[in-house]
Amino acid sequence: MTRRRIIAPVTFGHETLEATVVAADLAAALGAELLLVGIVPLAPPDSANGFGSTQAQGENQRMMDQLMSERLEELTDALPDGVRWRTVRSWGPVGPALIDAAREQRADLVVVPILRESEFSHLVHDRADRYVLHHCDVPVLVVP
């Protein structure tokens, strides 16, 4: 019997919630494991003093890591009974972090949200959904 693993990103954006719900429903229906990947952005250097402070950067990163822990806990508490799940953490841009996690965790399906955007918003946004579609080795389900 092959293991089935469905992977979904969890970020600080509200758009990942719907993808998580769909991924959880699929995991329950298929008897698959749901893997929630908490992707934390890397804290930029604090440039308040003109040089940047690694101490302030470290504190900012710890704060973002704590916020992600709380977000993951909140999401997993809301998962329906019968869903086998676990969480992993990753850092950096969402697209590459999700692809790396999918490969490392041997995912069978990746569920990502797609952002509705204006004609020019792709010029300023990190397009994780497009990155995943172009670089993923396994099927991708895109959730509007």
| Whole-number pLDDT of residue 48 | 56
Residue with tokens 């973002």: 64
What pLDDT, in 10s, does the model give residues 67-111? 999 999 999 999 988 899 999 999 999 999 999 999 999 999 999
Rg (CA), the chain: 16
pTM, 2 dp: 0.83
Tokens representing 83? 């869903």
Digit-coded pLDDT (tens) for 44-75: 766 555 455 677 778 889 999 999 999 999 99
Distance CA 138, CA 132 (A): 10
Q: Rounded mean pLDDT of 23-49?
A: 86
Q: Read off the pLDDT band of 124 (50, 70, 90).
A: very low
> Which tokens sit at 55?
């101490």
